[in-house]
Amino acid sequence: MTVIWVAGLTLAVIFVALFAGIYLDKLLHTSPLLTILLTIASIPLTIYLTFRVVRTATRRIQPVVKKETPKEEPHRGDDD
């Protein structure tokens, strides 16, 4: 489940940066400049958010409690 969150979050951040850059470039007539800058700036943000999601997910993991199985004692006698 965490993998899906990380993948979706990564795609969302990159697409928001890309489309915001394209929009701002058209608005300010700075053709590829802001698109490139925002896309590059989204990389550290994505790494940070991935770290936070994984850290939160690992805190939720509960250790598995193993049931102790009774140990068999070695056989001490003849089978009759």
Residue-level pLDDT at 45: 94
Residue-level pLDDT at 67: 74
pTM of the model: 0.67
pLDDT at 78 over 70: no
CA distances from 41 to 8, 12, 60, 74 (A): 18, 14, 30, 66
Instruction: Count Cα atoms within 13 angstroms, Cβ side, for 76.
Output: 3
Residue type, 19: F
Strands (E) located in the chain:
none
**pLDDT per residue over 19-77, tens digit each?**
999 999 999 999 899 999 999 999 999 999 999 988 988 888 877 777 777 677 666 66
